[in-house]
């Protein structure tokens, strides 16, 4: 039985769900892959919790429940290095300016021969090419399902299911929050402010909703997918984007009269001049495949050369689904 030691960096909503699922699936991994998968360490912003034989559920639950962690000089990279783990699962904050602690942890993981699964997007947005190269140099894997629409298969669809095809274009509804807000505006006549407040009440939107609402989340996913699946070298700032805040109730009335439906669509297309990517607010026809993709539901449509067009719709948008996407990546690593 091969032993796999796991460290999770970032132990908030998603990190804790990863730990829960790891515990729940421990026997399943043994049975299916002859793999003894143990969570040996978890790190928060100012402290970590480690046991070389594996943390028990009460141990990590107690650590997660602590309001204040007292390690004033906590060094997450040193914690990761000392853990001697096999796989890093990075679930810390998404820092799209510098890559933040996620970038530091993933680089550290590769240098010491660990595979990395990332749910946060910052490191990938800032330096996908560098991380991919470093992973190859160290003969380890970089897995990114959790950062690229999570429960909606995107990167796996492009890299595994369509292997060998030329993928000419993709378009997608990649952010559940914006789709929910636009759906409430269309179906219930809410203003964008009211729809955002409603999404916040339901826990769909963050207290500061800008990252989703202003198109950053979709732009990050588009940037990562363009670089990882289309071999582009896009920067986040190369992707033009629109905000749901630009939609007024007058726009909604006009689109209703025209029989159109507004959607925030991220797209990537091969052109004669290279890869074109954008995040646009599009008023689509009722015949468009995304017309019935409502609420927090996400979708991706892919155009290929020899397999035709494909449409995938669905996948939950919540911390459990994000954690499950990361553990799909884990299975791909331990089953190799
Ligand atoms: N929530 C979702 O449904 C979802 C879905 C897909 C992707 N994501 C991505 O997943 C990531 C985590 O989301 P979340 O909702 O779990 O966020 P969260 O609840 O805010 O948790 C973030 C965690 O990161 C920790 N952290 C901050 N700085 C750190 C550092 N330097 N080293 C180690 N840990 C650090 C925080 O520590 P403290 O506990 O000390 O504050 C906290 O435990 C984000 O990047 C998000 O974009 C989330």
Is 96 found in the same domain as 54?
A: yes
**253 burial level (CB within 10 Å; 0-12, 13-18, 19+):** exposed
Residues contributing to the annotated binding site:
10-15, 121, 206
pLDDT of residue 91 exceeding 90, the answer is: yes
pLDDT of residue 71 exceeding 70, the answer is: no
Is 244 found in the same domain as 198?
A: yes
Across residues 33-44, what is the average pLDDT? 98
Is 123 found in the same domain as 272?
A: no
Neighbouring residues of 148: CB distance < 8 A, sequence distance ≥ 6: 154, 155, 221, 224, 225, 228
Give the span between the Cα atoms of 281 and 205, in whole angstroms: 19
Report how many domains make up the chain: 2
> Atom 1 (ligand 1): residue with closest C-alpha?
319
Cβ of 118 closer than 6 Å to ligand 1, yes or no, is no
Neighbouring residues of 130: CB distance < 8 A, sequence distance ≥ 6: none
For residues 207 and 244, is the Cβ–Cβ distance under 8 A?
A: no
**Residue 67, pLDDT score:** 80
pLDDT category of residue 12 using cuts at 50, 70 and 90:
very high
Q: How many other C-beta atoms lie within 10 A of the C-beta of residue 248? A: 12
> Atom 27 (ligand 1): residue with closest C-alpha?
45
Across residues 226-238, what is the average pLDDT? 97
Give the span between the Cα atoms of 277 and 172, in whole angstroms: 12
Q: How far is the CA of 16 from the centre of ligand 1 (A)?
A: 10
Q: How far is the CA of 112 from the centre of ligand 1 (A)?
A: 23
Beta-ladder partners of 49: 42
Pair of tokens at residue 335: 């089953």
**Residue 82, pLDDT score:** 96
Across residues 48-60, what is the average pLDDT? 97
Is 275 found in the same domain as 131?
A: no
Is 161 found in the same domain as 59?
A: no
Instruction: Return the best residue to mutate from 9, 10, 174, 327 for the ligand 1 pocket (most ligand atoms within 8 A of CB).
Output: 10
Quote the Cα angle for 200-194-197, to 5°.
Answer: 15
CA distances for 247 relative to 3, 181, 244, 268, angstroms:
52, 10, 6, 23
Q: What percent of the chain has pLDDT over 70?
A: 99
pLDDT category of residue 68 using cuts at 50, 70 and 90:
confident
Is 274 found in the same domain as 185?
A: yes
Give the span between the Cα atoms of 91 and 20, in whole angstroms: 14
Give the span between the Cα atoms of 144 and 161, in whole angstroms: 16
Cβ of 112 closer than 6 Å to ligand 1, yes or no, is no
pLDDT category of residue 73 using cuts at 50, 70 and 90:
confident
Q: How far is the CA of 199 from the centre of ligand 1 (A)?
A: 20
Beta-ladder partners of 301: 171, 311
For residues 64 and 35, is the Cβ–Cβ distance under 8 A?
A: no
Cβ of 120 closer than 6 Å to ligand 1, yes or no, is yes
Q: pLDDT tens digits for 192-215?
A: 999 999 999 999 999 999 999 999
Quote the Cα angle for 233-7-15, to 5°.
Answer: 80
Q: What is the pTM of this model?
A: 0.97
137: domain range?
Answer: 2-151+319-334
Is 216 found in the same domain as 67?
A: no
| DSSP secondary structure code for residue 254 in this structure | H
Q: How far is the CA of 180 from the centre of ligand 1 (A)?
A: 22
Is 114 found in the same domain as 16?
A: yes
Task: Give the position, in ligand 1's atom list, of the atom nearest the Cα of 14.
Answer: 16
pLDDT category of residue 186 using cuts at 50, 70 and 90:
very high
Cβ of 319 closer than 6 Å to ligand 1, yes or no, is yes
Cβ of 92 closer than 6 Å to ligand 1, yes or no, is yes
For residues 228 and 130, is the Cβ–Cβ distance under 8 A?
A: no
pLDDT of residue 175 exceeding 70, the answer is: yes
Is 79 found in the same domain as 197?
A: no
Q: Report the CATH number that the domain containing residue 192 is assigned in CATH.
A: 3.30.360.10
Give the span between the Cα atoms of 56 and 39, in whole angstroms: 8
Residues tagged active-site: 221
Across residues 79-83, what is the average pLDDT? 96
Is 241 found in the same domain as 324?
A: no
Cβ of 15 closer than 6 Å to ligand 1, yes or no, is yes
Residues contributing to the annotated binding site for L-homoserine:
206
Q: What percent of the chain has pLDDT over 90?
A: 97
Pair of tokens at residue 178: 């914006």
pLDDT of residue 324 exceeding 70, the answer is: yes
Is 23 found in the same domain as 101?
A: yes
Cβ of 9 closer than 6 Å to ligand 1, yes or no, is yes
Is 22 found in the same domain as 64?
A: yes
Mean pLDDT of the chain: 96
Across residues 121-135, what is the average pLDDT? 98
Residues contributing to the annotated binding site for NADPH:
121
Task: Give the position, in ligand 1's atom list, of the atom nearest the Cα of 93.
Answer: 45
Instruction: Return the best residue to mutate from 16, 41, 73, 92 for the ligand 1 pocket (most ligand atoms within 8 A of CB).
Output: 92
Q: Report the CATH number that the domain containing residue 48 is assigned in CATH.
A: 3.40.50.720
């Amino acid at each position: 039985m091969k032993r796999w030691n796991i460290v999770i960096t970032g132990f908030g909503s998603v990190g804790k769900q990863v730990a829960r699922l790891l515990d729940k699936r421990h026997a399943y991994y043994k049975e299916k892959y002859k793999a003894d998968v143990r969570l040996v360490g978890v790190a928060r912003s100012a402290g970590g919790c480690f046991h070389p034989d594996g943390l028990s559920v009460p141990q990590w639950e107690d650590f997660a429940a602590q309001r204040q962690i007292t390690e004033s000089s906590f060094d997450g990279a040193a914690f990761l290095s000392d853990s001697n783990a096999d796989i890093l699962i990075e679930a810390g904050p998404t820092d799209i300016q510098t890559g933040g602690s996620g970038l530091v942890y993933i680089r550290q993981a590769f240098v010491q021969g660990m595979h990395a699964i990332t749910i946060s997007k910052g490191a990938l947005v800032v330096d996908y090419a560098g991380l991919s190269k470093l992973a190859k140099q160290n003969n380890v894997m970089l897995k990114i399902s959790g950062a690229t629409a999570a429960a909606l298969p995107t990167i796996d669809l492009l890299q595994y299911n369509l292997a060998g095809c030329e993928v000419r274009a993709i378009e997608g509804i990649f952010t559940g929050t914006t789709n929910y807000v636009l759906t409430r505006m269309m179906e219930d006549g809410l203003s964008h402010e009211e729809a955002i407040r409603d999404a916040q009440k339901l826990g769909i939107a963050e207290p500061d909703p800008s990252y989703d609402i202003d198109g950053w989340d979709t732009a990050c996913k588009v940037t990562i997918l363009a670089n990882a699946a289309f071999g582009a070298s896009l920067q986040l700032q190369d992707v033009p984007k629109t905000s749901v805040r630009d939609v007024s109730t007058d726009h909604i009335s006009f689109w209703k009269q025209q029989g159109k439906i507004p959607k925030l669509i991220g797209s990537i297309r091969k052109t004669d001049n290279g890869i074109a990517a954008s995040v646009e607010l599009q008023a689509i026809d009722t015949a468009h495949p995304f017309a019935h993709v409502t609420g927090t539901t996400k979708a991706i449509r892919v155009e290929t050369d020899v397999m035709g067009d494909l449409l995938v719709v669905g996948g939950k948008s919540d911390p459990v689904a994000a954690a499950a996407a990361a553990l799909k990546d884990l299975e791909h690593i331990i089953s190799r």
